Amino acid sequence: MEEEKQQTPATPATAETKKPNDNMIMGIISYLSFLCFIPLFTKKDNEFVYFHAKQGLVLFILEIIVYVLSRILVGIFIGSLTGWTLLSVFSVIINLLNLGLLVLSIIGIINVVQNQKKELPLVGKFAHKIKI
Higher pLDDT pick, 66 / 78: 66
Label residue 115 left, alpha or beta by phi (over 0 means left) and psi (-120 to 50 means alpha).
left
Q: What is the pLDDT of residues 56-72, one digit of tens each?
A: 999 999 999 999 998 88
Higher pLDDT pick, 104 / 8: 104
The answer, yes or no, to whether residue 38 has pLDDT greater than 60, is: yes
Query: Which of 28-32, 84-88, 117-121 has the least mean pLDDT?
Result: 84-88
Q: Which residues, in sequence order, are CB contacts of 52 under 8 Å at separation 6+? A: 27, 30, 31, 39, 108, 111, 112, 117
Domain assignment present for residue 11? The answer is no
Domain assignment present for residue 97? The answer is yes
pLDDT band per the 50, 70, 90 thresholds, residue 15: very low
Please count the structural domains in the chain.
Answer: 1
Domain assignment present for residue 42? The answer is yes
Domain assignment present for residue 44? The answer is yes
Structural domain of 114: 22-127
